[in-house]
Amino acid sequence: MGLLGDAVLVNWGGIVDDKEIEYNDWHSKEHMPERMSLPGFLKGLRAVGIPGTDINHKYFMMYEAEAKEVFVSRKYLERLNNPTEWTKDILSNYLSPSRTICSVISSKSIGVGGYLATIRFLGENILNNHNVENLKSFTPIILKLNGVTGMHVIVGDSSYGQMNTEEKKYRSSQGLNDQIVSQAVIIEGINYHSLETAIKKFKKKYSLKENNDLIINFYTCQNILTQQDLFHK
């Protein structure tokens, strides 16, 4: 299925080595269920980088919501400003946090792919060749590739939902503030090879060159949670 709502909250980052097992347990058993219990949240996802991924980019998390306003709602802000003790401990060990509220520009997929590739644009000055309408127009070609099951284009809002909450304070404990993405592309597939081929085509089509403002990573999905899962009897 495509992304369920009109907005997503995307996160990239890492966790210190001796907290990684606990981090996964916390995210699956406390954090995602907590978020899915809030009005407007539709689906949560966590994915881990393929072997060799930089520890600072090792995890990719995404929450799908009905609209951007969900991420600044009173009930959500109450959670952000009243983190549990477990949340405080985990976020204090988070590395290189990246957190952005985004609008969904385009979303096409067949089910949920077990592998994901993400292309992040971090700079404010996006080349005309890289604007979201150009990237979106490449969707039909990417979806025709063997093993590719979906592609999503999102645009970040650097002025939205950037309040100095308690969670944000703990998340920056390792000395870095939240990184903001200007826009991103997420590609889903059934294996790494399919996504590698898709990324190569993207690079060639749009002359993409990886640098500090354009980061490409590959992930495997670890856990997905929806409201239906949470309240299923």
**What domains can you pick out in the chain, each with its CATH number?**
7-230 (3.30.70.100)
> pLDDT tens digits, residue range 31-76?
999 999 999 999 999 999 999 999 999 999 999 999 999 999 999 9
Can you say whether the dihedral through the CA atoms of 224, 34, 172, 69 is positive or negative?
positive
Q: Distance of CA 47 to CAs 24, 208, 222, Å?
A: 10, 24, 5
Mean local confidence (pLDDT), 96-116? 95
Q: Distance of CA 172 to CAs 92, 165, 177, Å?
A: 7, 11, 5
Please give the model's pTM, rounded to 2 decimal places.
0.95
In this predicted structure, the answer to whether residue 233 has a pLDDT above a threshold of 60 is: no
Mean local confidence (pLDDT), 144-172? 92
pLDDT of residue 95: 95
* Res. 177 pLDDT band, cuts 50 70 90: confident
Q: In whole angstroms, what is the distance from residue 91 CA to residue 115 CA? A: 25
Q: Would you say 82 and 151 are in contact if contact means Cβ atoms under 8 Å apart?
A: no
Average pLDDT, the chain: 94
Q: In whole angstroms, what is the distance from residue 70 CA to residue 194 CA? A: 34
Q: In whole angstroms, what is the distance from residue 72 CA to residue 126 CA? A: 26
> pLDDT tens digits, residue range 141-152?
999 999 999 999
pLDDT of residue 232: 59
pLDDT of residue 97: 93
